[in-house]
Amino acid sequence: MDKSTTMATAEQKEKPHVAFLPSPGMGHIIPLFEFAKRLVINHGFHVSFFVITTGASAAQNELFRSDNLPTGFHAVEIPPVENISSFFTDDMRVVTRLSIIVRESLKQYLSSLLITHRPKALIIDLFCTDAFEICKEVSIPVYSFFTASTLLMAFSLYLPTLDREVNGEFVDLPEPIQTPGCNPICPHDLLDQVKDRKNDEYKWYLLHVSRIPLAAGIFVNSWDDLEPVTLEALKENSFFQNIPIPPVHTLGPLIKQDEVVTEKDAEILTWLDNQPSDSVLFVVFGSGGTLTSEQLTELAWGLEMSHQRFILVARKPSDASASAAYFNVGSDENDPLMYLPEGFAKKTEGRGLVVPSWAPQVAILNHPSTGAFLSHCEWNSTLESVVHGVPMIAWPLYAEQRMNAAFLAEEVGVTMKFPVAPGEELISRKEIEKMVRIVMEGEKGMAMRRRAQELKESAKIALHNGGSSDDSLCRVVQFWKSDQSLCS
């Protein structure tokens, strides 16, 4: 990784130059990383990718190895903030921690990086909105990349209005929340960050989303066929009469394209090679998700009782937080046999494969033996599943994942949700067995698989030359290239 702040070479100066700034966390970094690579490889741009190293996970460090980066893509480290732990408390949640890490990192380094590298534009994610004020001082336009669903973005744009007009907690509202022009959202499905308005998590989230209208444009990782209702509402803009919305550009689906397959990963893929087509359930809860000890036990026995083939990515359980692994992605964990129930490995030997902590998700979803995906429904994982035509069983854990699960089940038709009532937390082994059988063997599962295949083809068309997402990106690229006066 390029740790220097030297000026770009003469060859780089001849190319349009933009910079990227994601907050820590693979779910935020990967879509911006793929967008940046597309600009470099397909459109001849020079990219400076600012990397916040405070709180960086092992997976983040691996991603930015120099041999992973194309020519013209320069990763620039923002040094770690000293004594960052002094800003934290034990009960502090993920968005609050992220916001503090980003604020302290940008406060110390962003102005000098922007002046040194002088990009045409800076593309940020949701939790880097402190950059708006800094970029205003140096006259560099800022674009927002909303890395979650467009449905969540529409709700987020409407949140400042809700904050002014609604008294009490949103989760206590008797009726679904009606974002203008969009389908209603059940209060129980709202993202965690808005379920307690007295918590700092809510205050940080509200601050960030209230700044989105400051952007020169908004990039969304979606396409017209996946979220037609929400995208029409945002692009039409008449529904959001009192909310200034910058131009919305669909880029999706942007998913991880290149995945380093290690020797251990190759063993997983070899095991899949020996399984029948569409026969394996892939079970993983993303880069940061964790189950409680009791829930992991129920999951294990539910998989065993279903008699289906499976790959289970087993992470050390946490009874404290569903996002306990968020800042520890890609690190080594203990042997799964230490925390999976006794006898589970023997009873599932041959038809089940247990993988500790991390697996090559894209390669597994792309394998013909993979028949379904038991997922937390984080947006990157959702897009990876859809792009590869794999239906899902929804097991949301935190953030906006319940919103995604409801949308995918009720509007898109590629997902089934567990029938868990508000206030109920534990999903029993019998419920897990039943759901797995329905999706892997039943008519409902086959219908979901057909729908997932339709969206797989739709995604290809959107990204192909002349497709809706390709056309949207090309218009922005032409705008940036036409204004050479702002190039470095």
The closest alpha carbon to 376, from 400, 411, 407, 357, belongs to 400
pLDDT tens-digit map of 292-305: 999 999 999 999 99
Measured CA to CA, the distance from residue 83 to residue 31 in angstroms comes to: 29
By annotation, the residues acting in catalysis are 28, 125
Residue 368 CA to residue 280 CA, distance in Å, equals: 9
Which residues lie across from 281 on neighbouring strands?
A: 310, 372
* Cβ–Cβ under 8 Å, residues 306 and 433: yes
User: Is residue 443 within 8 Å of 477, Cβ to Cβ?
Assistant: no
pLDDT for 289 equals 81
d(CA 413, CA 69): 36
Show the DSSP H helices in 141-199 as ranges: 150-165
Point out the residues of the chain with pLDDT beneath 70: 1-13, 237-241, 320-334, 421-424, 483-488
Report which of 366, 337, 349, 372 is spatially closest to residue 444, judged by C-alpha positions: 372
- pTM of this structure: 0.91
Backbone angles phi, psi at 342, to 5 degrees: -60, 135
Tokens encoding 236: 């039409």
